[in-house]
């Protein structure tokens, strides 16, 4: 006689409590008999450990740690390292977890039938080579996505900090005006701890290799008044040259030469290259962010990533955008300076979500012309709050001031219109203290977190 069925998860009654489910779809059971459930109508993935009736939210709505926004997840696969692959059905994409959190893997360019798009995907599976097969339901097809063995490694540092992380409030002047010129703007610290700063006064890029106090290289080029730069993992440098020459240039490390990679009609006050080699340019003079695939052979292929080109305060508009950051999910964060807020634009959406300042949905912090943004491994924001003369950070406990918390000034614990910041691999913070004509280094207090862990 066949044994009667037993309940593995859920209570037979729909709900969002930890022991309940609402329209469960795909499931996965690992070797420990842990049960993962795509809790579709609750917009989450639940983990039910063996013998436990209460589930733990491991992805989506109200998860224990910040993860990713899901819309009707329908399929789940767990790999050998216990990382999740989720079919995010109504976001028309496949997402995956890693040490760095969740990111979009496939279908990251909106809903449609192009080869890089999906429409209501329902399930997925892998072959023995790691290639992914996806049931692309509304496109009535099965898509095969080849695994690329050389996985993405960011060129910048993204430490993981605790919510109580603290930095020395007294900065050390790393470089003064004699080295970085008047009103330095852009700074970038790569994973080798090489520091790059733009000197607008003599139109050079100044470099310091790890632990060097004096510059180790100065790059001269045919660019004028550059406002921003971005460095990729191979050492290539993207630099703004829009003010006079209407372009973004790339310094090719291998050949020590410059090439034009984007045509623009004004300065780019923020530059970023995402994991798919798309270059973004933030244009304050035109109140928008534009982007271009670096793999596109057509040079004049810029597309609007955020903003309408007309300044304004509604969710589709920007007013003098400055620094930008694009995470592994292709979420675009914009320092919307004159609107005193930071906006988040998710892939394929023209409207932004206010995540700091302005009229954010949750109480955050008052900003005055934010100009620089960095996201750490926990997806917490570091913001250069330019006209409040400080650097602030978000955490589970909300926003707080980190450095420059003692008003405008020239003292070691003060800043004057800081424009941008970058973190080294030890968590130390480098800030362009623009109106003080210097670069300030603020030491991270490792003991403030007890245990500090970098993401490899």
**pLDDT band at 65, cuts 50/70/90?**
low
- The domain limits of the chain are 24-145, 166-445
Question: pLDDT tens digits, residue range 24-35?
Answer: 999 999 999 999
Average confidence (pLDDT) over 365-390: 96
Q: What is the pLDDT of residue 92?
A: 95
Q: What is the pLDDT of residue 97?
A: 86
Neighbours of 372 (CB within 10 A): 28
What is the phi/psi pair of residue 34, to 5°? -75, 135
Q: What is the pLDDT of residue 152?
A: 63
Asked if the domains 24-145 and 166-445 are classified in one and the same CATH topology, the answer is yes
Assess contact for 409 and 418: CB atoms under 8 A: no
CATH architecture of 24-145: 6 Propeller (2.120)
Kindly compute the dihedral angle of the four CA atoms of residues 38, 42, 43, 46, in this order, to the nearest 10 degrees: -40
**pLDDT band at 100, cuts 50/70/90?**
low
Question: pLDDT tens digits, residue range 378-434?
Answer: 889 999 999 999 999 998 888 999 999 999 999 999 999 999 999 999 999 999 999
Assess contact for 105 and 88: CB atoms under 8 A: no
Average confidence (pLDDT) over 355-365: 81
- The CATH label, of 3.30.110.30, 2.60.40.10, 3.40.50.280, 2.120.10.30, for the domain at 166-445 is 2.120.10.30
**pLDDT band at 452, cuts 50/70/90?**
very low
Is pLDDT of 453 > 50? Answer: no
Q: What is the pLDDT of residue 107?
A: 92
The whole-angstrom separation of Cα 53 and Cα 66 is 23
Q: Minimum mean pLDDT among 10-14, 178-182, 302-306, 439-443: which range?
A: 10-14
Q: Minimum mean pLDDT among 37-41, 65-69, 300-304: which range?
A: 65-69
Is pLDDT of 2 > 80? Answer: no
CA-based R_g, the chain, Å: 23
Question: pLDDT tens digits, residue range 184-202?
Answer: 999 999 999 999 999 999 9
Query: Number of H helices and number of E strands within the chain?
Result: 2, 37
Q: What is the pLDDT of residue 151?
A: 55
Is pLDDT of 454 > 50? Answer: no
**pLDDT band at 150, cuts 50/70/90?**
low
Q: What is the pLDDT of residue 456?
A: 35
Assess contact for 303 and 292: CB atoms under 8 A: yes
């Amino acid at each position: 006689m066949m044994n009667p069925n037993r309940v593995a998860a859920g209570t037979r009654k729909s709900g969002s409590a930890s022991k309940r489910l609402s329209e469960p779809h795909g499931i996965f059971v690992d070797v420990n008999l842990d049960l993962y459930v795509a809790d579709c109508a609750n917009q989450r993935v639940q983990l039910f450990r063996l013998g436990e009736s209460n589930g733990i939210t491991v992805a989506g709505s109200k998860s224990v740690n910040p993860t990713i926004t899901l819309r009707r997840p329908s399929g789940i696969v767990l790999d050998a390292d216990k990382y999740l692959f989720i079919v995010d059905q109504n976001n028309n994409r496949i997402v995956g977890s890693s040490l760095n959190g969740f990111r979009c893997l496939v279908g990251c360019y909106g809903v449609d039938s192009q080869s890089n798009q999906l429409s209501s995907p329902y399930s997925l599976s892998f072959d023995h080579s790691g290639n992914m097969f996806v049931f692309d339901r509304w496109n009535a097809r099965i898509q095969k996505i080849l695994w690329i063995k050389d996985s993405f490694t960011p060129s910048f540092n993204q430490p993981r900090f605790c919510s109580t992380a603290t930095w020395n409030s007294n900065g050390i002047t790393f470089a003064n005006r004699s080295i970085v010129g008047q009103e330095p703007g852009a700074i970038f610290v790569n994973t080798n701890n090489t520091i790059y700063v733009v000197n607008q006064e003599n139109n050079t890029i100044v470099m310091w290799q790890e632990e060097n106090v004096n510059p180790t290289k100065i790059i001269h080029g045919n660019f004028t008044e550059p406002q921003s730069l971005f460095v990729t993992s191979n050492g290539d440098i993207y630099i703004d040259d829009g003010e006079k020459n209407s372009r973004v240039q790339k310094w090719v490390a291998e050949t020590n030469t410059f090439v034009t990679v984007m045509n623009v009609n004004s300065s780019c006050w923020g530059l970023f290259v995402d994991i798919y080699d798309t270059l973004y340019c933030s244009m304050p003079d035109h109140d928008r962010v534009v982007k271009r695939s670096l793999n596109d052979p057509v040079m004049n292929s810029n597309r609007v990533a955020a903003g309408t080109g007309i300044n304004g305060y509604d969710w589709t508009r920007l007013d003098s955008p400055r620094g930008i950051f694009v995470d592994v999910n292709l979420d675009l964060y914009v320092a919307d300076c004159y609107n005193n807020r930071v906006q988040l634009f998710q892939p394929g959406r023209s409207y932004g979500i206010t995540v700091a300042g302005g009229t954010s949905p949750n109480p955050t912090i008052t900003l005055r012309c934010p100009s620089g943004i960095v996201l750490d491994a926990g997806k917490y924001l570091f913001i250069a709050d330019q006209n409040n003369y400080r650097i602030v950070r978000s955490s589970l406990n909300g926003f707080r001031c980190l450095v420059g918390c003692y008003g405008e000034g020239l003292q070691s614990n003060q800043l004057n219109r800081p424009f941008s910041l970058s973190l080294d691999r030890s968590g130390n913070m480098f800030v362009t203290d623009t109106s003080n004509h210097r670069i300030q280094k603020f030491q991270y207090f490792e003991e403030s977190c007890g245990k500090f862990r970098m993401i490899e």
